[in-house]
Chains A and B, each alone.
Chain A
Amino acid sequence: MTPVAARAVDVWKVYGQGEAEVTALRGVTVELERGRFTAIMGPSGSGKSTLMHCLAGLDEVTRGEVYIGETRLAGLGDTGLTRLRRDQVGFVFQQFNLLPTLTAEENILLPLAIARRRPDPAWFTTVIETVGLGDRLSHRPSQLSGGQQQRVACARALITRPDVVFADEPTGNLDSRSGAEVLGFLRTSVRDFGQTIVMVTHDPNAASYADRVVFLADGAAVAELAGPTAESVLDTMKRLDALAAVA
């Protein structure tokens, strides 16, 4: 088993044609190590979300290659991508995206239900304890706070033990305390269960929970930080802004 959970090799992404053509990614190459928490940072329009969509198989690349584990995404087709999403990938969205008609427990188990798999009771208990939802399982999303809803969403992403969990601005809709809680157990799941997590964020504080930060600007990977703190992330961003201003 390689130490790389997902990688992008010289990935280009171009939207539109002719005058409306927009190049979102220009030759990004990045490797995401297994069992680590990677944050992708960058200002608005830097292509960080596009990169994540391409890595997760939600969007097709224009050129280049994307791999999840040993699976090459190009040419998988709808069936292959569906299987990939079912078995190898988990998602956490900014908007939580829970089904309003299902209870918290049913939402967590939804991916397994779709795959027609039985939940592993021990793993279920572990996940529930990690996100701290034990007494809220029978509640509907509308009866939960934003932080609690996002914890349900995290549990839903973890329950299938995917190769990679992609989190898209997971704290974007949360107050700072709830955000800190969510980030806390994302990190816990990496440390304790060896889960691989890729998180897109523009919040330096959120990025500081990661093991490594990849910085994007104008569709290219421009910098990297290992063992970041909120200050070092902020410094790097300021430096990149200054560079951009010079250019």
Chain B
Amino acid sequence: MLRATLRSVLSRKLRLVLSGLAVVLGVMFVAGAFVLTDTLGRSFDNLFTTVYAHTDVEVTAKPKVAVAEADGEQVPANLPAAAVADVLGVPGVADAYGLAMADGARVIGRDGKVVSSAGAPQFGTNWTDKDPTVHLREGSRAPAADTEVAMNAALAEAAGLAVGDQVGILTLAPKKTFTLVGIFGYDRDRDSIGGTHVVAFTEPVAQQLMLGEPGTYTSIQVTADDGVPDGTVRDRIAATLGDAYQVKTGEQAAAEQSANLKQFLTFFNNILLGFAGVALFVGVFLIVNTFSIIVAQRTRELALMRAVGANRRQIVGSVLLEALLIGVLASLLGLGAGIGVGGVMARLAASFGGDLELAGLGVPATAVIAAFTVGVLVTMVAALIPALRASRIPPMAALQEAATPDRPLTRITVIGAGVFAAGATTLGVGLSGVGDATLWTVLAGVLVSFVGVALLTPVIARPAVSLIGRLFSWSVPGKLGRLNSGRNPRRTAITAAALMVGIALITGVTTVLASATTSLTKIVNEAVQADLVISGLQTGPRPPTFDPAVLDRTAQLPGVEAVAGGSFDEALVDGDRTGVAAVSDMGALQRIAMLKPTAGRVDALADGQAALDADRAARDGITVGQTVTIQLSRGEPHTYTVTGIYARNEMIAGWLLPPSATRDFGIPQPVQAFVTVADGTPVPEVKAQVAALLADSPEVSVGDREEFVAQQTSDVDTVLVMIQVLLALAILIPMWTPCW
């Protein structure tokens, strides 16, 4: 029996392997996701182990506003320089020094553009000769004056700079120009660690530009005396400094940073698993199709088996065994391809994110287990219905020439209608927004309705085919094709269903993304009267910013009516974390965004005043005249009085603060500005003038509303193309297999 099945599989190996192609692709994505995550994860571990190699204990201050890695940038709190002396006094501490190091030192390269680190941090730090892994290259020296900087070799090369060059750098402050006096590398002659770009200033400059506060550090790096365990030193320092500090061993810090970075991998993982899902969904249809054909072809053979004593279970088993073999083979091929894809993607990601040193390719046990579980399970579940159909072949079929007649479509139609009705109901419930898991309800509804439609396809197939077929029936092949596809509506339907999945998915994704673009256009047109928008496309965790002086200078340009710029921060308002915006000119914003006050006034915000949208005010029970305590990323908590409540619109919502609040912002510089131009003044003229003002802020540009929408949605198009290519890969390639 086993041998008969195996031989039968081998005799059809090409068709079976091809029908398994969708499963191969699905498994490939699954395995690739695991391999990628594992390889990059271990690379991150190695990276941070290197970074903390010479740090036994690290001291940081607790952040003022805790932000999860996935939600945005957390601004580390500054700790006073005096804390270094406290740490040095702790027994067991051999040495300790402060680092004023923060992300956001953007160097302007030779070409006048901000040098991209492709996602890796762009650190600005104080120069210290205490780090034994840092080595100045030949002809270099440490920055000694406040106008001098050093940078790591990777950054110098990317910027096209050499020792002696003048270099513009954007930090918390707008562009400042320095002299490059030193280029440094690391142990083993590396140009960068993990692709990071590092600029080293003198200590006071680093504190001012990177931390926004003189006399402070972001961390204290501690070396322990020989023979004293790191943990002991950590506990002693923690006891000395008290609760406001976080004290970790180097090992702990490395593990935590690595874990933070790994969260981003989850995102990649989910995308890959999404494509795996698509490929496998298509795979199910194709396998059902292939096995239905095989079972039909093998009718006499299976009937003979029944005639010589095989029971139903054996017939089901024989078909399922065939599916198992394909599943195992597809999983094996998919696993191999997945390891390759994961490896290539890890390499791409590593070179993309600067120069991450890649750990050896890792194939975790989970990848193997997931690959085989998914591949085998999907194949066998898909083959179950054809297998059950095979077991119903009567032994009589062995004696008859004609195949068993097609069963009536009544049952499948009734079931299909039922499933479709259930799916449509679920979809309706989901769309009406009742219940909590609306998105999931909608997704489930769509999926179930789809299966319902697929089940109904045989009924639709005959009339549809005859209608479409009429177009081609002038030719003999056309006529034959029409008759052939009408003859077996089940087969026609199941083949069409596989294609249906593909088209539905591509249409769905395109619709969602097109809707996003359309609604953004609508929002911008309806909610904002601005003639020009200053903004940049955010590509990393930090938003693009520009010099706040540009706002004043733009306002003074002839023909400019109003300018409203916004800076953004994460804050705790009465203890609840929320985003806040500081508006440069509230009066201008009110006119440009057509803000309507529902209580108080929103045409101006003085120091210590705040405005809030009506929805949020109602939710939190806030009224005009009330005071709230706001803790921003830096500094101490301040009390604000609510002076205005406005009706929210699509662009403006939430807490609005006066310009003075930016003092305590993590990134005080404006991210976006709206400009209105007086009637009669040509907009392009003003635009050119604003563009000139932005010369030193290369991260942003000025454009009219149309250009703004195009800029903000430019990555939507990229995403769309990527998704369509991957969907094509997952769907269309396996589609031609039934032709074999």
Write the residues of chain A forming the contact surface with B, with a CB cutoff of 8 angstroms. Answer: 49, 53, 58-59, 78-79, 82-83, 85-87, 90-91, 93-95, 97, 99-102, 106, 110-111, 113-115, 156, 160, 168
Determine if A91 and B307 form an interchain contact, defined as CB atoms under 8 angstroms apart.
yes
Q: A97-B300, A101-B8, A114-B314 are in contact. Are A91 and B3 (CB under 8 A)?
A: no
Contact with A along B4-33 (1 / 0, CB 8 A): 100110110000000000000000000000
Determine if A106 and B3 form an interchain contact, defined as CB atoms under 8 angstroms apart.
yes
Chain B residue with Cβ nearest A113: B1
Check: B430 CB closer than 8 A to any chain A CB.
Answer: no
Determine if B4 and A78 form an interchain contact, defined as CB atoms under 8 angstroms apart.
no
A156 to B307, CA, bound (A): 12
Q: A82-B309, A82-B310 are in contact. Are A99 and B4 (CB under 8 A)?
A: yes
Apart from A99-B7, A114-B310, what 6 extra A-B contacts exist at CB < 8 Å? A58-B395, A85-B307, A85-B308, A90-B308, A91-B307, A102-B7
Chain B residue with Cβ nearest A168: B399
A82 to B308, CA, bound (A): 8
Check: B459 CB closer than 8 A to any chain A CB.
Answer: no
* Main SS class of interface, B: helix
CB proximity of A138 to chain B, nearest CB, Å: 14
Q: A101-B10, A102-B3 are in contact. Are A156 and B308 (CB under 8 A)?
A: yes
Determine if A85 and B309 form an interchain contact, defined as CB atoms under 8 angstroms apart.
yes
Selected contact of A101 from candidates B4, B306, B308, CB within 8 Å = B4
List residues of chain B with CB within 8 A of the CB of A91: 307-308, 398
List residues of chain A with CB within 8 A of the CB of B311: 78-79, 82
Closest 9 CB pairs of A and B: A86-B309, A101-B7, A111-B308, A82-B311, A97-B304, A114-B310, A85-B309, A58-B396, A101-B11
A173 to B384, CA, bound (A): 37
Q: Give 15 CB contacts A-B under 8 Å.
A: A59-B396, A79-B311, A82-B310, A85-B306, A86-B309, A97-B300, A97-B307, A99-B301, A102-B4, A110-B4, A113-B4, A114-B305, A114-B309, A115-B309, A168-B399
Check: B312 CB closer than 8 A to any chain A CB.
Answer: yes
Chain B residue with Cβ nearest A79: B311
Selected contact of B309 from candidates A49, A58, A59, A87, CB within 8 Å = A87
CB proximity of A213 to chain B, nearest CB, Å: 22
A97 to B301, CA, bound (A): 7
Chain A residue with Cβ nearest B394: A58
List residues of chain B with CB within 8 A of the CB of A90: 308
List residues of chain B with CB within 8 A of the CB of A114: 1, 305, 308-310, 314
List residues of chain B with CB within 8 A of the CB of A93: 304, 398-399
List residues of chain B with CB within 8 A of the CB of A113: 1, 3-4
Chain A residue with Cβ nearest B401: A95
List residues of chain A with CB within 8 A of the CB of B304: 93, 97, 99
Contact with A along B292-335 (1 / 0, CB 8 A): 00000000110011111111101000000000000000000000
List residues of chain A with CB within 8 A of the CB of B8: 99, 101
Determine if B307 and A58 form an interchain contact, defined as CB atoms under 8 angstroms apart.
yes
Determine if B11 and A78 form an interchain contact, defined as CB atoms under 8 angstroms apart.
no
List residues of chain A with CB within 8 A of the CB of B312: 78, 82
CB proximity of B307 to chain A, nearest CB, Å: 5
CB proximity of B468 to chain A, nearest CB, Å: 34
A99 to B311, CA, bound (A): 17
Determine if A53 and B396 form an interchain contact, defined as CB atoms under 8 angstroms apart.
yes
CB proximity of B445 to chain A, nearest CB, Å: 39
List residues of chain B with CB within 8 A of the CB of A79: 311
B383-399 at interface with A (beta carbon < 8 Å)? 394-396, 398-399
List residues of chain B with CB within 8 A of the CB of A83: 309
List residues of chain B with CB within 8 A of the CB of A102: 3-4, 7
- Centre residue among B3, B11, B394, B396 by max chain A CB count within 10 A: B3
Q: A99-B301, A102-B4, A102-B7 are in contact. Are A82 and B306 (CB under 8 A)?
A: yes
Determine if A53 and B399 form an interchain contact, defined as CB atoms under 8 angstroms apart.
yes
Contact with A along B675-711 (1 / 0, CB 8 A): 0000000000000000000000000000000000000
- Centre residue among B304, B308, B394 by max chain A CB count within 10 A: B308
List residues of chain B with CB within 8 A of the CB of A111: 308-309
List residues of chain B with CB within 8 A of the CB of A94: 399
Q: A78-B312, A114-B305, A114-B308 are in contact. Are A85 and B7 (CB under 8 A)?
A: no
CB proximity of A140 to chain B, nearest CB, Å: 10
- Centre residue among B7, B310, B399 by max chain A CB count within 10 A: B399
Determine if B308 and A110 form an interchain contact, defined as CB atoms under 8 angstroms apart.
yes
CB proximity of B73 to chain A, nearest CB, Å: 65
A110 to B305, CA, bound (A): 8
A94 to B394, CA, bound (A): 18
Chain B residue with Cβ nearest A117: B309
A114 to B301, CA, bound (A): 14
List residues of chain A with CB within 8 A of the CB of B11: 100-101
A58 to B305, CA, bound (A): 13
A97 to B307, CA, bound (A): 11
A59 to B398, CA, bound (A): 12
B346-398 at interface with A (beta carbon < 8 Å)? 394-396, 398
Determine if B398 and A97 form an interchain contact, defined as CB atoms under 8 angstroms apart.
yes
A91 to B312, CA, bound (A): 19
CB proximity of A44 to chain B, nearest CB, Å: 15
A100 to B304, CA, bound (A): 12
A83 to B304, CA, bound (A): 15
CB proximity of A2 to chain B, nearest CB, Å: 24
CB proximity of A158 to chain B, nearest CB, Å: 12
Chain A residue with Cβ nearest B397: A58
A90 to B312, CA, bound (A): 18
